[in-house]
Amino acid sequence: MYRRKNLPEQAVEIAITGISHEGRGIGHINGKVAFVDGALPNEVIKAKYQRNRSQFSELKTLEVIKAASERVKPPCDYSEACGGCSLQHWQSGAQLSFKEDMLIDQLNRIANIQSVDFEILPQLQAHTLGYRRKARLAVRNVVKKGGVLVGFREKNSGFVMDMKGCEVLVEEVSCLLEPLRSLITSLDGLEEIPQIEVAVGELGPEKESGKIVALILRHLKNLSETDLKCLLKFAERFEVELYLQSGGMETVEKFFPSDDHERLYYYLPDYDLKMGFHPLDFTQINGELNTMIIDLAIGLLDLDQADSVLDLFCGLGNFTLPVARKAGAVVGIEGSCEMVERARENAQNNAVVNAEFHSADLYKSLGQDSWLSKNYNKIILDPPRSGALEIIPFLLKMNPEKILYISCNPATLARDTAELISGGYKLKSAGVMDMFPHTSHVESIAEFVLR
């Protein structure tokens, strides 16, 4: 990495001709590629160097000389510096079209599929602000900035943002940022608290979308009795559930309320489901869009009582249990034994009797597990960013009539699409869903059928 003193100090004027997959404007300086944070296609901007590498330069927008028609005023005052969002200066519909173009481009380049070869599904979008119900907030005492900071980290930096609120966090969490700063400032152990995990649950459909916030406070040393009393008063005053974590995951303990009920909930009323989860469990951060994706998946699967469905990477049953309401039988597979237990718990609590769950490492050679010997005519895939390449040979042997693939990485989706096509499947439809508005993250869905 070049030291700052080696960077050109004078700002440069650049015509932006494209945009990268990370959401940075692309231009050229004396024939050399330049990636410009905060710039949009068809703009002319003045920018400052951040890094200067042999093959390309990285810059930051200082002034917009000629603005794109899709440029908007960011809804958040911190968007220019905060690493939580990167595209707030772009109209939300244009952001989603950019993500759709990225999906189509990856399918074309990696899987050799043209957009005319499949149906492009309508773009799926919910509210673009106040949507984020899970987050990891950094904490640091920075004397030169006035004391304790609580928030996301700055772009391309380990520094913590000096922020009083956040437009993408649910309101119940955003309004806690300043009180949390005051709380930690008052603690004897303020230098030993590096982060706070946040998870938000729902109080129930009848509660008019009321929410409950859980905070998991990480501390590197034991807290004093005085600090514990301060934490208790804070939790009582703001009516939050508070957990303490002194080491690894096994050290997480509920501090307030003083009960052993370590569950939050989200609801899927159209399927009569109440989904329980531990605050540190993986759940989709955008609850409203998650519900829309489930509805879309159920529609694309076109389920009835004759269907037997396999749900791979099922987590706590987010798709499995809604599918169970429509299909004859469904089996969910997940690598984490703890999440499998959570899924079974959710099935039992919702009186779902036609779903079963098993733990298996889907990235290793599968053995003779009982679930492998069953017949499935429809399969759901919802893998992590690395995709599902290792499991595809097993899917091809199962020969299901339909495979529904939910992806958080268009590159691995396109790679796996090529494998499925070579195995006898056709990409029938695909589309994007705005799970992470104002970021370059692309969530997509693809429907495959036997040729």
Q: Say how many C-beta atoms besides its own lie within 10 A of residue 114's C-beta.
A: 9
Residue 446 lies in a domain: yes
User: If you average pLDDT over every residue of the chain, what do you get?
Assistant: 95
Domain total in the chain: 3
pLDDT average, residue stretch 416-428 = 98
Question: What type of residue is 269?
Answer: P
Same-domain check for residues 297 and 428: yes
Strand bridging mode 211-218 / 241-245:
parallel
Of the three residues 41, 66, 91, the one that is the final residue of a domain is 66
Residue 333 lies in a domain: yes
Same-domain check for residues 111 and 139: no
Residue 43 lies in a domain: yes
Question: Rounded to an integer, what distance in angstroms lies between the CA atom of residue 438 and that of residue 446?
Answer: 23
Whether pTM > 0.75 for this model: the answer is: yes
Q: In this predicted model, what pLDDT tens digit does every residue of 430-449 receive, in sequence order?
A: 999 999 999 999 999 999 99
Q: What is the CATH number of the domain that holds 351?
A: 3.40.50.150
Confidence at residue 23, expressed as pLDDT on a 0 to 100 scale: 93
**Band of residue 370 on the pLDDT scale cut at 50, 70, 90:** confident
Confidence at residue 207, expressed as pLDDT on a 0 to 100 scale: 56
Is the pLDDT score of 159 beyond 80?
yes
Question: Rounded to an integer, what distance in angstroms lies between the CA atom of residue 171 and that of residue 173?
Answer: 5
Concatenated DSSP letters for 194-259? -EEEEEEEE--GGGTT-EEEEEEEE-SSPPPHHHHHHHHHHHHHHT-EEEEESSSGGG-EEEESSS
Contacts of 143 (CB under 8 A, 6+ apart): none
Is the pLDDT score of 223 beyond 80?
yes
Residue 277 lies in a domain: no
Residue among 82, 85, 166, 408 flagged as catalytic: 408
Same-domain check for residues 122 and 138: no
Q: In this predicted model, what pLDDT tens digit does every residue of 105-151 receive, in sequence order?
A: 999 999 999 999 999 999 999 999 999 999 999 999 999 888 999 99
pLDDT average, residue stretch 361-369 = 84
Same-domain check for residues 256 and 327: no
Burial class (CB in 10 A: 0-12, 13-18, 19+), 203: middle
pLDDT average, residue stretch 65-86 = 95
Residue 140 lies in a domain: yes
Confidence at residue 121, expressed as pLDDT on a 0 to 100 scale: 98
Q: Of all residues in the chain, what percent carry a pLDDT higher than 70?
A: 98
Residue 280 lies in a domain: no
Same-domain check for residues 299 and 446: yes
Of the three residues 236, 265, 294, the one that is the final residue of a domain is 265
The answer to whether residue 76 is catalytic is no
Same-domain check for residues 304 and 349: yes
| DSSP for residue 117 | G
Q: What is the CATH number of the domain that holds 187?
A: 2.40.50.1070
In terms of Cα–Cα distance, which of 174, 82, 78, 185 is closest to 139? 185
Structural domain of 235? 134-265
Question: What type of residue is 373?
Answer: S
Q: What is the CATH number of the domain that holds 59?
A: 2.40.50.140
Helix or strand or coil: residue 448? Answer: strand
Same-domain check for residues 439 and 292: yes
Confidence at residue 157, expressed as pLDDT on a 0 to 100 scale: 87
Tokens of 112: 């050799």
Cα-Cα-Cα-Cα torsion 269, 271, 276, 279, nearest 10 degrees, comes to: -70
Same-domain check for residues 297 and 444: yes
Of the three residues 66, 92, 119, the one that is the final residue of a domain is 66
Tokens of 26: 């692309």
Helices (H) and strands (E) in the chain, counts: 9, 22
**Band of residue 208 on the pLDDT scale cut at 50, 70, 90:** low
Residue 429 lies in a domain: yes
Helix or strand or coil: residue 162? Answer: coil
Same-domain check for residues 302 and 441: yes
| DSSP for residue 343 | H
Residue 176 lies in a domain: yes
Same-domain check for residues 119 and 139: no
Same-domain check for residues 58 and 189: no
Same-domain check for residues 104 and 192: no
Confidence at residue 162, expressed as pLDDT on a 0 to 100 scale: 95
**Band of residue 1 on the pLDDT scale cut at 50, 70, 90:** very low
